[in-house]
Amino acid sequence: MPDHHFEIVILPREYCQLLLVVLVSLILIHSGSSYYSLEIEEISWLVLQLFHLDEENNIPTWYSSFLLLNCAFVLHVVSKNKLDYRAHWTFLSLGFLILAIDEVAGMHESLNTTIDINWAILGAILVMLVGILFVPFLLSLERRLAILFTISGLLYVSGAIEVELLSEDMDEDSLEYGFSTALEEGLEMLGAWMFLRVNLFAMDKQRVEIEVSLPEKKAN
């Protein structure tokens, strides 16, 4: 009996457009509901938190984690097709997997309760060290690809670290904090989306195929 054979077909343009529509919608819903609840009429917290970008275990959190998991999966596929800098591609894949888990599990929030400084400061130091180590990797890429990788990384880091530090002393019940949260999470999701899009289009250009085969069980 032949193996069961499946093909995963992803249309990069259509898929990324759909992801972007959802991303923008989540930001607009958060911003609009925050403004309405604070300036016009209070919305029930059970409803508000469902789309609140600063909360955990809700729709934006799971969507953000889904984006990061997409990046981890695509990078894993790329690493299997690369001979040069394979360790770097694998490291990136594992890094995005950890970020996806953290998005849902909230590990950095837990870290914040055990240290005296904001986790974002430690995160910034880690990002700088990784960035320095990855300079040869970036220089090995096609110029356009390296630039887009850098831009997407800067977008993500700006949201995850810089805006986090700027909003640290804001009143969490203020409209200012609500909009800063939209900026923070929006930049993170946009950076992840852009990185995913760049890699998907690069895979499509290089005709990278994803196949899944399930072998038949041998009879005893």
> Can you read off the two tokens belonging to residue 42?
């209070």
- Given this model, what pLDDT does residue 210 score? 58
- Given this model, what pLDDT does residue 4 score? 61
Residue 13 is assigned to a structural domain of this protein? yes
Mutual orientation of helices 59-80 and 12-35 as an angle, nearest 10°?
160
Residues, the chain, total? 220
User: What is the span of the domain harbouring residue 34?
Assistant: 4-214
Spatial CA neighbour of 29 closest among 220, 185, 213 = 185
How many CB atoms neighbour CB 82 within 10 A? 13
The tens-digit pLDDT sequence of the chain (220 residues) is 455 666 667 788 899 999 999 999 999 999 999 999 989 988 888 888 899 888 878 999 999 999 999 999 999 888 887 768 888 999 999 999 999 998 888 766 666 566 666 666 777 788 888 889 889 999 998 999 999 999 999 998 887 776 666 666 677 778 888 888 888 889 999 999 999 999 988 876 666 555 555 555 555 5
Are the beta carbons of 185 and 67 closer than 8 angstroms? no
- Given this model, what pLDDT does residue 55 score? 81
- Given this model, what pLDDT does residue 193 score? 96
> Can you read off the two tokens belonging to residue 56?
């955990």
Distances (CA, A) of 115 to 9, 26, 121, 122: 45, 32, 11, 10
Residue 120 is assigned to a structural domain of this protein? yes
Number of domains in the chain: 1
User: pTM of the prediction?
Assistant: 0.84
Residue 55 is assigned to a structural domain of this protein? yes
Spatial CA neighbour of 9 closest among 215, 207, 216 = 207
Residue type (1 letter), 202: A
- Given this model, what pLDDT does residue 25 score? 96
- Given this model, what pLDDT does residue 201 score? 85
How many CB atoms neighbour CB 35 within 10 A? 13
- Given this model, what pLDDT does residue 2 score? 53
Residue 203 is assigned to a structural domain of this protein? yes
Residue 219 is assigned to a structural domain of this protein? no
